[in-house]
Amino acid sequence: MKPRSVSAPGKAVLSGEYAVLGKAPALSVALDRRAVVRIAKSDDEFHHVATPGHADGRWRFTANDAGEIHWLDELPESGLRLIEEAWRVCMPRGDGHLSITIDTVDFFAPESGQKLGLGGSAAAMTALVGALAAPGTLPRDVGTLATRAHKALQNGLGSGVDIATSCLGGVIEFRRDARRAPQQRPWPHGLRFRFLWSGKAADTASRIRQLDSHSGKGWASLSAAAEAAATAWKRHNVAEVLEAFDRYTNTLQQFSIDHDLGIFDAGHDDVRNLATQFGVVYKPCGAGGGDIGIILAGDTEALDRICDGAEALGFSPLDVSPDARGVVAGGGEY
């Protein structure tokens, strides 16, 4: 077999987090931190997998005709369920034994090793499914397969926006509705941004589980605010976008209080207050309670002032930009 490589971008949810668990829209942007999967022929009678970024080491396994993996080495504490779920969905056959590298180094802080909250597991799953499902090319249903595998990995939690973003690239409007395909939504001209990392990793799954245990208070307001943010984005008017995102952030903050989600914990609340003083928008991206946030403004000077203040609060600027490419293989775009 010929060695092959597939990569997929990470993501940040710009608006619609939590609301997207219903049928409200989320805006999500692919970022230029990419998971890279490389597959080559194994040099022995076993499959091998290495996961730089996730865990150091190399693990041997065999797989039966039902897609079940049997590990021959002691696994890292964090486990390797990602390869198990991808293998079960793709059922690779006819390639002999494989040597697989799943590289997610870009999704971890270099010094501390903490995850940055850029959608690394979804990017890795998308790239891995693309590499396993069809040698030499990407299957047309890579998104469907990756969504199925990632949903199993997350024990049924989540909306699927992260996989859709990794597949398509750019900015997308996503709804949890099979009848409404994700739509590309270009970045509004003149809308300035900076991503910040809180320095603390968030636990998305626990927040979603906690939300499931609460009543429906605030859902209608959050969904309406998410609709307004998506509509403003489509109109490409920077002032309208900033106003709609500010309203959405206020609504999200109240939703967090109502459901005791802690979305604005880990310092996000402090940066939000600082941004409000300067008349710009700051919000956590995704589950919140750590991970990353984004500053949105109409001019670069305001961004610089907020970044300086945020660094004093323990946040770090992230060198990331929107990535127009989705999942790609061998230099060809899916």
Instruction: Find, among 312, 306, 311, the residue nearest to 192 by Cα.
Output: 306
- DSSP category for residue 171: E
- For residues 263 and 305, state if they share a domain: yes
Same-domain status, 225 and 172: no
Cβ atoms of 9 and 172 within 8 Å: the answer is no
326 in a structural domain:
no
The set of residues, in sequence order, having a beta carbon less than 8 Å from that of 106 and lying 6+ positions away, is 10, 33, 34, 35, 53, 118, 120
Domain identity same for 167 and 232: no
- Both 208 and 177 in a single domain? no
Q: Does any domain span residue 333?
A: no
Under 8 Å between Cβ of 165 and 30: yes
* Whether 170 and 224 share a structural domain: no
For residues 208 and 59, membership in a common domain is answered with no
CATH of the domain at 66: 3.30.230.10
| Residue 214: per-residue pLDDT | 46
Quote the pLDDT of residue 332: 43
The domain boundary, picked from 135, 156, 185, lies at 185
- Last residue within a domain, chosen from 162, 185, 208: 185
Residues 6 or more apart whose Cβ sits within 8 Å of residue 141: none
- Output the pLDDT for position 135: 67
Q: Is residue 331 part of a domain?
A: no
- Whether 74 and 102 map to the same domain: the answer is yes
Chain centre to alpha carbon of residue 333: 19
Structure tokens at 164: 């859709």
Number of structural domains (the chain) is 2
Q: Is residue 327 part of a domain?
A: no
The whole-angstrom separation of Cα 206 and Cα 197 is: 20
pLDDT value for 1:
66
Q: Determine the pLDDT at residue 257.
A: 93
Q: What is the pLDDT along the chain (334 residues), one digit of tens a residue?
A: 678 999 999 999 999 999 999 889 999 999 999 999 999 999 999 999 999 999 999 999 999 999 999 999 999 998 999 999 999 999 987 768 999 999 999 999 988 889 999 999 999 999 999 999 876 667 778 999 999 999 999 988 889 999 999 999 999 999 998 888 999 999 999 999 999 999 998 877 777 777 754 457 899 999 999 999 999 999 999 999 999 999 999 999 999 999 989 999 999 999 999 999 988 999 999 888 989 999 999 998 889 889 999 999 999 999 999 999 999 987 444 4
What is the number of other CB atoms lying within 10 angstroms of the CB of residue 115?
19
Interatomic CA distance for residues 6 and 130, integer angstroms: 7
Query: Using an 8 Å Cβ cutoff, are 182 and 34 in contact?
Result: no
Q: Is residue 152 part of a domain?
A: yes
Q: Which two tokens stand for residue 116?
A: 């940055």
Q: Which of 150, 190, 153, 185 is nearest to 169 (CA)?
A: 185
Q: Is residue 276 part of a domain?
A: yes
Dist. CA 307–CA 298, nearest whole Å: 15
pLDDT in tens, 143-174: 999 999 999 999 888 899 999 999 999 999 99
Helix (H, G, I), strand (E, B) or coil at 71: strand
Domain end residue (candidates: 121, 153, 185): 185
Predicted structure pTM score: 0.94
Residues 200-225 as b or e (16 or more Cβ within 10 Å = b): bbbebeebbeebeeeeeebbebbbeb
Phi, psi of 241 (to 5 degrees): -60, -45
Are 142 and 217 in the same domain? no
CA distance 286 to 275: 19
Please report, as a single letter, which amino acid is at residue 196. L
Q: Can you say whether the dihedral through the CA atoms of 196, 202, 204, 209 is positive or negative?
A: negative
Would you state the pLDDT for residue 330? 73
Do residues 50 and 177 both lie within one domain? yes
CA distance 171 to 193: 14
CA 44/CA 48 separation, integer angstroms: 9
- CATH number for the domain that contains residue 216: 3.30.70.890
Residue 294 Cα distances to 69, 139, 216, 272, 317, angstroms: 40, 33, 27, 10, 10
Q: Is residue 173 part of a domain?
A: yes
pLDDT of residue 35: 97
> Which strands form 316-318's sheet, in the order they lie side by side?
281-284, 292-297, 192-197, 316-318
Shared domain check, 208 and 179 = no
Check residue 203 and give its pLDDT. 75
Average pLDDT, rounded, for the chain = 92
Whole-angstrom distance, CA of residue 202 vs CA of residue 286: 10
Query: Residue 49 belongs to what domain range?
Result: 4-185
